[in-house]
Structure 1
Amino acid sequence: MPELIRWVLYYFERAAIRVFSIYRWIVFVLPIEKDTECPLGAPHVDDGYIVRESSYSDIDDILKLYPKEFYQYMPSRKRSELVRSRFNSKYIGFVLLDKSGDIVGGTWALPVKSDLINSNGKSCFELVNTFIIPSKRGSGLGSYMRSSAIKKMAARGYTHVISYVWRSRKASINMNLSTGSRIAGEKMRINVLGFNRTYINRFVDLRGLVFLPHIILVGYDAERLKYVVSYLRRFGFTVKVVLANCSDIDSTTLSFFDQSENSVLILDPLIGEKSGQVADSIDERFCILNKLHAEFSFDDLIEEVKMESVKPVSYIFSVYGERVPVIDLS
């Protein structure tokens, strides 16, 4: 696209935004540990990839690789100013190198103060503009780079990472979920005639999100689970209910859970599985749970139930077969 047209579209877009616009992001928060020995939630990737802090010598390479979705109609001069400004401010940059030493991805960490975190000595940072070149996407490298950057920031004393992700960016949402981040709210910015207001809502509107995952609900309180299942059904979620220690459940409640796409699995020595199988011992109870595990794969949930540390209502989002957590309603 000719630069002149880019400049025209750039200023037209900025003017339109100031007249009226609404932006919405999903807010992710992840607590991190300083003594983390390996990247949090990092998937296995081929040997040879490394993550290091970026330097001035990387500017030209990053400019060539900077994804179009980050700049749209932004002219090349503005794009260059944006990237270069990241090296002259409080941003901390990281790049992902392949086996040949070429840059194939990058991200920036920005120290911030967040209303979502009651900071008493807690240090929070935001990861922005995380990108992987198109030819390397879909291989887990984005999650690996993000997790490695988090590990390096933890070594600097930071305790929380916050991310704002456009609701329409499916890959970015899944990358945050796969590295352990929890959905903490929704950020909205409204611009009207040059005036703007930004606020964070702790309620996340699930409608219109780019993913509708399977959800596994685990809990002891059947009545509370009924309320949550009713809420989630409104948005078309597929729900698997696991009732632990619910020996007093009645047939009406049981039939409520076992409707259409929803199914129930009862973990209780007295009742066993809904099919009639009786679990006479705790070992048999967790054999039953392992059947669910084979379908959805969530080892740590099994450990939580074994330790009887499951909250009254726990959520497990299973997106494309991966186990990822979100904040619960308890």
Structure 2
Amino acid sequence: MKALVYTGPNQLVFRDEPSPEPQSGELLVRVEAVGICGSDMHAYHGFDARRPPPLILGHEAAGRIVGGQRNAERVTINPLVVDPACPYAVEGRWHLSPTRQIISMPPRPGAFAELVRIPERNVVPIPDSLPIEHAALAEPIAVAWHAVRIGLEKLHRPLASARVVVLGGGAIGLACALVARRFGAGEIMVAETNPLRRRTLDAEPGIGVYTPGDTAEPAESSIDLVLDAVGADATRAAACRIVRPGGVIVHIGLLPGTEGLDIRKITLQEITLSGSYCYTPTDFTDTVGALVAGRLGALAWTEERALSEGDDAFRALDSGATAAAKIVLRT
């Protein structure tokens, strides 16, 4: 099969690789669309020791089952592979299991390839009406769905009257805004420094956008729910500055660094600070249902390129040269 292989820092090679062999309980999926994630970019830069080269990256995938009773069935892939007997899985929090694996991380090659193997329990059927490039967005949007759900559970007011700010307008940040809109948030704003991304965000009805530091930035202690989709020192500080007394901060981003939290304000004003990582199987299937029903908007913020052009796509993302919040590679 053909695959896009990470061979070293800032190096990707499109080449022939052995086709995967499904193990017991697994399916083979012919990948038709696969998104480039921030974690793929992190590995591409050589910053992820969990993803050593050579390795096939990519975990945001959709396609068709190859062989067996479900041959040619259209599916999207939940890439988190967990032992169903794990206590965390039994209580419904599969994503926190110490047994978890993810495709694109050894020992499981990823989906920047024509074929990928995956446990049958990890595929979700999709109808012909859902474009395959939209089906590949299920994984990143599920990350946002989980984060927004956590925030809503901790709010002390109806979401319809809540002010929500998302820090970062990349794929996860934009998806958080779309999910908050789907859940009925009263006011949604996204902070983004990249002018191309701000243009993309401006096209989304019901979502405001501002440049951090300008006059449109929310006032101090005025926001009910802050979703930090960047996870940098500066965004943690911004989240603490704008969150209201008794408000909620959900920390999603995974950039290096630990500074920025105003622990005194968090304590004195009873700010709820929660981490958010991945999603549960229910979050994932709920996200797919919302995509199928068209409840997350037109999803016009993606750009499609061929898998064979993956190296150029990574470079475009790296340089900020694209207005797309997500590049989807087609095989």
TM range (shorter): under 0.3
Q: Which has the larger radius of gyration?
A: 1
- Normalization by structure 1: what TM-score? 0.24
| TM-score, with length taken from structure 2 | 0.24
